[in-house]
Amino acid sequence: MLERDEGAVRAQWARIRGRLREEFGDAAFRTWLKPVTLRELRGGVVRLAVPTKFMRDWVETNYLDRLRMLWTGENAAVRGIDIAIEAALARAIADSEAAADGAADGGAPEAAGEVEDLATDRGDFAGRLDPRFTFENFVVGKPNELAHAAARRVAEAATVPFNPLFLYGGVGLGKTHLMHAIAWHVRRREPSKRVIYLSAEKFMFQFVKAVRFKDTMAFKEQFRSVDLLMIDDVQFLCGKDSTQEEFFYTFNALVDQNRQIVISADKSPSDLEGLEERMRSRLGWGLVADIHPTTYELRLGILQTKAEQLGIDVPTKVVEFLAHKITSNVRELEGALNRISAHASLVGRAVTIETAQEVLHDLLRANDRRITIEEIQKRVAEHFSIRMADMHSARRARAVARPRQVAMYLCKQLTPRSLPEIGRKFGGRDHTTVMHAVRKIEELRASDPNLSEDIELLRRMLET
Ligand code: ADP
Ligand code: MG
């Protein structure tokens, strides 16, 4: 089915899935990404399949960009991604999950770290708690000291200190870790308290399911006697009107009863796009604590702590090298350390800077280069011999509009910027304009080898 190197493409897909799981976490991966099935790579298009339309919409809205970026990173031939709905998949997935559940039931549910579950379905409703995410394992430094102190306060306070506690910061900086730490702490100290931790995605998924099965009363009941409710990654609720409504209702009901709520997001309440105004202001009522990007000192501290936990001996020089080089986030720092530790135990030699460089070359390269929107605009303008000002101008002549679209496309591919952010840098254009440009260029790439070559060339220049 898959073109020529079927095995290679499958291996690429496996790596991409691994990355997605790391980046989005187990819960989101299990719910949304695991069911995505690779069908084929043909004519530069990766064909994926999911069981329902709902799922396709969700994956397209939330993960398509990342999927595309990872695929093009793995395989230069990939030009586009197509997601089909295959109803038959639903059965296959349900069967395999039933089998997995059966296996888990036989094990020790306590060890799996299930949060105090809600009345109905076997704790299905609550997210799992990671046993490593405790306060003891959290390294405090300047960038996270406020968030940490606030989380501790919530965990230890006899009465609600501020409501809600709103934690925000970039990916991999410890938001989920702090929320789990609160849950563990309360669970240990006051086992009678009912704690629920779940991702906004799961909240949404459960809500949609309840609506579909006409069971929203039961859904609401779930939250009635909760003492502490934590919802992770609420940016995922943005734009989902009915779920937002439901969340708002739950939120208010709990605040009125003086129950503690903790929320996390990747942006501050005022920067969350697609959030209703009343919701936005309500979220900012309590304490808003922001986790800043890591500093060198914090990275050093985290690396030392984790190396100790892993029981590996990493020379100070290497730790300093890593803290200096891997600046993105804590998750990548951990990933680096894990790889070094695996390598060291395989070859049975002490770690040096050289081996670290070798083992981590891809990670180091990704951290090395931060491609900016301005750089892309400049390169593209040069390449097509147009003025830099035309990147921002309103001129619509093809000779400038096309290069501008190419630049937007590359921004989407090579930077972590969102569509609205990109639009703003192109003379304040709307995010839909950027989306249109990305689609247009994708289409053109498939039919115009010259353009495709131009883009490849630009990409390589920008990435080196
Ligand atoms: P976020 O939810 O903000 O994306 P996570 O809480 O999932 O990030 O953190 C990513 C990884 O980094 C986790 O394995 C977490 O344990 C670790 N981590 C983040 N911050 C710290 C810290 N200050 N000390 C120790 N580990 C941390
Ligand atoms: Mg998280």
Q: Of the bound ligands, which one is closest to the alpha carbon of residue 151?
A: 1
- The predicted-structure confidence for 3-35, as pLDDT tens digits, reads as follows 457 888 888 999 999 888 888 887 778 878 888
Measured in Å, residue 171 CA sits from the centre of ligand 2 at 7
Whole-number Å distance, alpha carbon 263 to ligand 2 midpoint, is 11
Considering only CA atoms, which residue is closest to atom 4 of ligand 1?
172
Distance 145 CA to ligand 1 centre (A): 14
Q: Does pLDDT of 327 surpass 50?
A: yes
What is the Cα gyration radius of the chain?
Answer: 24
Q: Which atom of ligand 1 is nearest to the CA of 169?
A: 3
pLDDT at 92: 57
**Which atom number of ligand 1 is nearest to the Cα of residue 179?**
6
Name which residue sits closest to atom 5 of ligand 1, judged by CA: 174
How high is the pLDDT of residue 69? 87
Which of 79-93, 115-129, 409-423 reaches the highest mean pLDDT? Answer: 409-423
User: For the chain, which domains are there?
Assistant: 6-91 (3.30.300.180), 117-291 (3.40.50.300), 296-368 (1.10.8.60), 373-463 (1.10.1750.10)
Span 228-253, pLDDT tens digits: 999 999 988 877 778 888 888 889 99
With vertex at residue 222, the alpha carbon angle to CA 217 and CA 225, rounded to the nearest 5 degrees, is: 120
Question: Does 384 score more than 90 pLDDT?
Answer: yes
pLDDT at position 280 is 86
State the Cα–Cα distance between residues 432 and 439, nearest whole angstrom. Answer: 10
Rounded to a whole number of angstroms, the distance between the first and last alpha carbons of the chain is 35
Identify the residue with better confidence: 312 or 426.
426
- Between 158 and 25, the more confident residue is 158
CA of 61 to the centre of ligand 1 (A): 25
Nearest to 380 by CA among 371, 372, 391: 391
Ligand 1 centroid, distance to 307 Cα (angstroms): 15
Q: Which ligand ends up closest to the CA of 142?
A: 1
Mutate to test the pocket of ligand 1, among 236, 294, 330 (most ligand atoms within 8 A of CB): 330
* 401: nearest Cα among 429, 374, 420: 429
- The number of beta carbons lying within 10 Å of the beta carbon of residue 19 is 17
80-85 β-sheet, strand order: 37-42, 45-50, 80-85
| b/e 241-279 (16+ beta carbons within 10 angstroms → b) | eebbebbbebbeebbeeebbbbbbbbbbbeebeebbeeb
Query: What is the rounded distance in angstroms from the CA atom of residue 80 to the CA atom of residue 443?
Result: 8
Q: What percent of the chain has pLDDT over 90?
A: 43
pLDDT tens digits, 289-304: 999 989 899 999 999 9
**If you measure from the C-alpha of residue 441 to the centroid of ligand 1, how many angstroms do you get, rounded to a whole number?**
37
User: What pLDDT score was predicted for residue 1?
Assistant: 45
* Ligand 1 lining (C-beta closer than 6 Å): 133, 137-139, 144, 169, 171-177, 302, 330-331, 334
> Sorting pLDDT into bands at 50, 70 and 90, what band is 344?
confident
**Closest C-alpha among 20, 232, 18 to residue 128:** 232
pLDDT 10s digits, 435-444: 999 999 999 9
**45: enclosing H helix or E strand:** strand 45-50
Closest C-alpha residue for ligand 1 atom 10: 172
Which of 198, 331, 333 most suits a substitution to test ligand 1, by most atoms within 8 Å of the C-beta?
331
pTM, full prediction:
0.61
Residue nearest to atom 14 of ligand 1 (CA): 331
Long-range pairs, 314-317, Cβ under 8 A, ≥24: 314/340, 314/351, 315/350, 315/351, 315/352, 317/353
Q: Which residue has the higher pLDDT, 35 or 175?
A: 175
Confidence of residue 85 (pLDDT cuts 50, 70, 90): confident
pLDDT value of position 93: 54
Ligand 1 atom with the shortest distance to the CA of 141: 23
Least confident of 52-66, 151-165, 262-276, 433-447: 52-66
Lowest mean pLDDT among 22-26, 85-89, 277-281, 456-460: 85-89
Distance 131 CA to ligand 2 centre (A): 15
**Mean pLDDT, rounded, of the chain:** 85
* pLDDT surpassing 50 at residue 199: yes
pLDDT of residue 90: 62
More confident residue, 168 or 460: 168
Burial (Cβ within 10 Å: 0-12, 13-18, ≥19) of residue 315: middle
pLDDT of residue 134 exceeding 50: yes
How many A from CA of 461 to the centre of ligand 1?
33
Q: Which protein residues have a CB closer than 5 Å to ligand 2 (ion)?
A: 175-176
What's the gap in Å between 137 CA and the centre of ligand 1? 10
The mean per-residue pLDDT over the stretch 173-201 comes to 93
417 in Cβ contact with 375 (< 8 Å): no
- Distance of CA 266 from the midpoint of ligand 1 (Å): 13
Q: What pLDDT digit, counting tens, does each position of 247-256 carry?
A: 888 899 999 9
Taking only the tens place, the pLDDT of each residue in 37-59 is 998 898 889 999 987 777 888 88
pLDDT, position 322: 92
Ligand nearest to the CA of 330: 1
pLDDT band at 325 (very low <50, low <70, confident <90, very high): confident
Ligand nearest to the backbone CA of 201 = 2
Ligand 1 atom showing the smallest separation from residue 298 Cα: 23
The pLDDT assigned to 126 comes to: 56
pLDDT confidence of residue 318 = 92
Residue 456 confidence (pLDDT): 87
Query: What local confidence, expressed as pLDDT, does residue 100 receive?
Result: 44
Point out which residues pair with 85 in neighbouring strands. 50
pLDDT in tens, 90-128: 655 554 544 444 333 333 332 223 333 332 233 334 567
